[in-house]
Amino acid sequence: MNIKTSDYAISESKSVKMDSFSTKYDGKLEKEKGLKLFDELLKKLQDLQALLYADGSKSLLVVLQAMDAAGKDSTIRNVFGPINPQGCKVVSFKNPNSVELAHDFLWRIHQNVPRKGHIGVFNRSYYEDVLIVKVKNLAPKETIKQRYDHINNFESLLNDEGTKIVKFFLHISKDYQKEQLQERLDIPEKLWKFTMSDIEERAYWGDYQNAYATVFEKCSLPKNPWYIVPAERKWFRNLLVAQVLVETLEAMDLKYPKAQVDPKQIVIP
C-alpha cells in the first residue's frame, strides 16, 4: 500500500483552516510496513538524484517550514542523509544579518537556489518573510502584503528556468511542541538546541497558524504545491516526504545525456 500524496497537497488557491489538517497519521499503514517502504523509496531517491545530476538541465528545490521543534532537522537527516552530498546542499535561513537586511527579502535566497543537476534544501526560507516578519511586525504591513505576489512570481521564474519547487509544512500540535521542547530541556545532548526564543515564539502560536493559513491560501499552485505533513509520527513524516520527492523527480522527465561516443567503436588501448 502506497500513500496517496495528493491527499496531503494544496495545489490551488482556496480557503484553508489549519484545524482541518491532522498532525498525527492515523491511517491504515502500519509502522513496520512504512519503514520498509521508506527504505525502498530511499533507494529510488538515490537513483533519481544520480539521474538529475547526469541530466544536468534541471534542479529541485525543497522548502521545509514548521513551527519550532517540529522536526525539520531530523527530516533532513533521515531523508537527505543517504543521498550523494556532491549534488545536494542544505541551507538554513536564520535571522537575517545586517547585509541581508539592507537588500530585498529574496536577495539572500536567490543566490542559494540549487544549480542545475542539484537538489537544494531550504531549512526555513523566504516564507519567513511573511511568517515571523508578519507575526512580529518586522516590516510595514503594506510591504508584507505585496510579498505573496513576489513569492509567486519568484517561484514561477524558477519553474520556467528549470527549478522544480516542492514545499513541505511539518504540521504539529501545540501540545506536541511542548513535549518536544521539554525533551530539549531533559536530555543533556539536546539542551544546546533550546533557546528562549522557542518560548517567546510559542506564545504567538495562534498568530503563526493564521499566518501559515494565509501562505497556503495565497501561495499554492498546481506547479508549486504545498504539502501539509502530519509530523507527529516520525516514520510517517519521513515516508511522505520521501514519496513526494520520488514522485516529483519521476515527473521531471529526466534523461541521461546523449552519449558522445559509440562504445562499439572504441577499444581501450
CB of 25 to ligand ATP, least distance (A): 21
Q: Does 124 engage in binding with ligand ATP (CB under 6 A)?
A: yes
Residue that is written with C-alpha cell 511586525 in the block: 137
Which of these ranges, 42-50, 63-71, 74-82, 161-169, lies near Mg ion under the rule CB under 5 A? Answer: 63-71
Rounded CA-CA distance 160/58 in Å is 10
Near ligand ATP in 30-59, by CB under 6 A: none
Applying CB under 5 A, among 68, 128, 155, 232 the residue interacting with Mg ion is 68
Q: Does 232 engage in binding with ligand ATP (CB under 6 A)?
A: no
Q: Give the residue from 21, 48, 12 showing the smallest Cα distance to 229.
A: 21
State the binding partner of 207 from Mg ion, ligand ATP, none, CB within 5 to 8 A by kind: none
Q: Does 72 engage in binding with ligand ATP (CB under 6 A)?
A: yes
With CB atoms as reference, the residue minimizing the distance to ligand ATP is 128
Q: Which residues pair with 66 in a beta bridge?
A: 170
State the binding partner of 264 from ligand ATP, Mg ion, none, CB within 5 to 8 A by kind: none
One-letter-per-residue 3-state SS of the chain:
CCCCHHHHEECCCCCCCHHHCCCCCCCCCCHHHHHHHHHHHHHHHHHHHHHHHHHCCCEEEEEEEECCCCCHHHHHHHHHCCCCHHHEEEEECCCCCHHHHCCCCCHHHHCCCCCCCCEEEEECCHHHHHCHHHHCCCCCHHHHHHHHHHHHHHHHHHHHCCEEEEEEEEECCHHHHHHHHHHHHHCHHHHHHCCHHHHHHHCCHHHHHHHHHHHHHHCCECCECEEEEECCCHHHHHHHHHHHHHHHHHCCCCCCCCCCCCHHHCCCC
Nearer to Mg ion, 73 or 247 (CB): 73
State the binding partner of 248 from Mg ion, ligand ATP, none, CB within 5 to 8 A by kind: none
Q: Does 129 engage in binding with Mg ion (CB under 5 A)?
A: no
Applying CB under 6 A, among 88, 132, 170, 240 the residue interacting with ligand ATP is 132
Nearer to ligand ATP, 31 or 136 (CB): 136
Q: Does 150 engage in binding with ligand ATP (CB under 6 A)?
A: no
Near ligand ATP in 91-110, by CB under 6 A: 93-96
Q: Give the residue from 118, 119, 96 showing the smallest Cα distance to 108.
A: 96
- Binding-residue pattern over the window 188 to 217 for ligand ATP, x denoting contact by CB under 6 A: -----x-x-x--------------------
Applying CB under 6 A, among 3, 45, 69, 244 the residue interacting with ligand ATP is 69
With CB atoms as reference, the residue minimizing the distance to Mg ion is 68
Q: Does 183 engage in binding with ligand ATP (CB under 6 A)?
A: no
Those residues whose C-beta lies under 8 Å from the C-beta of residue 144, and which sit 6 or more positions away, are 129, 130, 133, 134
Q: Which residues bind Mg ion (CB under 5 A)?
A: 68
* Chain residues in the site for ligand ATP (CB under 6 A): 68-69, 72-73, 93-96, 123-124, 128-129, 132-133, 138, 193, 195, 197
